[in-house]
Amino acid sequence: MLKNKHILVTGGAGFIGSNLVQELLAQGAHVRVMDNFATGRRENLTEFLSNPKFELFEGDIQVVEDCQKAVKGIDAISHQAALGSVPRSIAFPHNTHSTNATGFLNMLHAAKEEGIKRFVYASSSSVYGDLAISPKVEGVEGSPLSPYAVTKMLNEQYAGVYARLFSMETVGLRYFNVFGPKQDPNGVYAAAIPKFLDKLLKNEAVTINGDGSQTRDFTYVKNAVRANVLALTTDREFNGSAVYNVACGESFTLLEVVEALREGLVQRGIHSTAEVVHGPERPGDIMHSLAKIDRITSEIGYSPLYTFPEGIVEYVSNYPVDNH
């Protein structure tokens, strides 16, 4: 269904974006990546540069003209471009808003002007905010706990408005703690799993904010890619907008995650002596996050390709250890 379709992936040099590009090309699609490389990495795209169906457009979603150029000749969009990280959004809310909210609106409007109907985009489990109910179900959200969460809620609202006003089909994917290859372990805003693994390999202290009992529905990146492909290709008549949880439907504590990574390294013959230390709780953090995935399963046929343990095994077994 994707063969010879022209798909735009914004943020395609990022972690989830580059994994998605790989799968779209494998299914025969023509893929144009739009990225400004603020957080995306050029090395994530190196393997695609010789593919005649791959095109790189260096542009910024905060620039209206760039968005207009990027959508020319495109059949559908997967909008992955964003400034991630709750702590970064608290420290730099204007940057987060400009990229995640204004940039999102720029892309959505450019798609509408070009007559592109299917607009798939990355939302986030952060939209559930302070909601105590677990598991999280679409349609029952709490109050946001960070500027990042506000921008993702705003994305969903804009997508809904454009779907109603202009007969677009907008599909928001609420990612739950995605991990996997091409995820950067470096930097102050690095995600937990690659950062933990990097520290274990270096035999350096693994810092967990809080007591480590907080739980997350960790989701291997190939599950997120699968959700995007289904959202781009489904024949379902959305009659407007839809939002879906993208997860596994199981949760694990951060302490369990560290031990799973440690065990994965043991299977490679690597025995880490790194200790776990505890730092202060982070403002804006959600204590427990677990998804209900019935809706995405029933409506577009999603089911996790990998459980969390299976994802950890594949991730650790292929993780490059030469530079540690």
Residue 44's CATH number: 3.40.50.720
The structural domain count of the chain equals: 1
3-state secondary structure 14-30: CHHHHHHHHHHHHCCCE
Around Cβ 253, how many Cβ atoms within 10 Å? 16
118 falls within a domain: yes
Integer-rounded Cα Rg, in Å, for the chain is 19
Owning domain of residue 94: 6-180+218-250+290-306
How far is it, in rounded angstroms, from Cα 48 to Cα 254? 34
202 falls within a domain: no
CA neighbours within 13 Å on the CB side: how many for 155? 35
| 30-35 and 6-10 strand pairing | parallel
Q: Which helix (H) or strand (E) holds 263?
A: helix 254-266
The pLDDT, as a whole number, for residue 157 is 98
Question: Is 244 annotated as catalytic?
Answer: no
Q: How far apart are the first and last CA of the chain?
A: 42
* Least confident residue range of 6-10, 161-165, 213-217: 213-217
274 falls within a domain: no
Structure confidence by residue, pLDDT tens digits, 67-95? 999 999 999 999 999 998 888 999 999 99
187 falls within a domain: no
Q: Where are the alpha helices (DSSP H) in 54-138?
A: 64-70, 86-91, 93-97, 103-114
196 falls within a domain: no
Query: In this structure, are residues 218 and 308 in contact, taking their beta carbons and an 8 Å threshold?
Result: yes
This prediction's pTM: 0.94
Q: Which of 121, 148, 302, 306 is catalytic?
A: 148
| Torsion angle of the four alpha carbons 175, 293, 102, 119, in this order, in degrees rounded to the nearest 10 | 110
282 falls within a domain: no
Q: Which helix (H) or strand (E) holds 53?
A: none
Structure confidence by residue, pLDDT tens digits, 264-322? 999 999 999 999 999 888 776 778 889 999 999 999 999 999 999 999 999 999 998 76
Structure confidence by residue, pLDDT tens digits, 248-268? 999 999 999 999 999 999 999
Neighbouring residues of 297: CB distance < 8 A, sequence distance ≥ 6: 303
Query: In this structure, are residues 235 and 118 in contact, taking their beta carbons and an 8 Å threshold?
Result: no
278 falls within a domain: no
320 falls within a domain: no
Residue 172: closest CA among 250, 71, 245: 245
